[in-house]
Structure 1
Amino acid sequence: MAEYQTRKAQHKVDAVQEMTSEFSQYDGFIFTDYRGMTVEQITTLRNQLREKEAAYRVVKNRFAKIVMSDLKHEGTNDNLVGPTAVALTSGEDASSLASKILFEFSKGSPLQIKGAYLDGKLFSKEEIEAYSKLPTRLELIASLMGTMKAPLSKLARTLQAVADAKGGNTEN
């Protein structure tokens, strides 16, 4: 008896391959429900994310599940239910900025964040919301540099004041 095999339409195979090649360029995936959003809102959101080097794609869940499985991103199937769009990010700062944009955008639109898969870890909606509130790596470095610079600036002003005072006494 012959073994049963499902036939796969070539256009579907091509779509999955194309999605796999695009998704393989990214290491962060933030899953959203875009139900109720207008085309104008989605376009605005895409433009905001593109400025931060992120992409926003509406996906077919069945294809996305195959792609995520092929890329060894396990555990994402729970986020691929219902109308789904994915924010694609590459790098820690891009993921942080994209999550901030998505949560800010969701305040004035029907957009809902479902969860995320960042750097090999699965995040719930609550966890990704907390992540979005953290400062980026660059913001932390700038803060650290400001903190380190403050005592040196104070020392320099103090030494300058001493030098000015001594310089002013010799003129009298």
Structure 2
Amino acid sequence: MTTPLHADPLITTMQLVGRTVRMVFSRREPERTRALAIELARSTSPCQGLDDPVRNWEPGLQIDRGLGRARRLQRLVNSPVWQSDHGSATPQDGKTPADNATDFLFAAVMNLMHQMPLSDEAHLFRLWYLATRAVTPPENATRLFGELRHLPPHQQLAAGARLLETLGTEGPRPTSPRSRPQPPHPVALPRHETP
């Protein structure tokens, strides 16, 4: 995948995703984190009349029983109706489908992964989300995090925070739109396979 020539807004968005990932794992400022995650989900939506944005996901994720809420949210945030009536950060009926920032952030990451290479923070978050939600997590998520599905939420977040710390304390550092930053420590993140 190549990064679009005018990728500056995407790079800025990816940096904001990295900061939001750090906020999620730190468990500080939950309301601000949730607001950022909702805005990222809205702003990353290609909203190009896709009949089903979940078809861009890997086949196993499209049918995994544990990701039903994530699939519903992905369809919602990519809906032109939600996009056009998003001034109040809620869907048109006034109800928010999930109170959890992680679901909105996952939708944003899944939107971005088809537009540009993911930053290390975004890639790590994606694998963490799958390790905590999917009934059958991808092998690379299980290898990286082990079994997280049966842990309480605070321990799941702590596992993500610990691995994020191995990447260093700085935010994403893209040196060029076409290259991914490398972690400062010898941490090998397993890469996803594109369908």
TM range (shorter): under 0.3
Per the normalisation by structure 1, the TM-score is 0.28
Compare the two structures and name the one with the higher strand fraction. Answer: 1
Per the normalisation by structure 2, the TM-score is 0.25
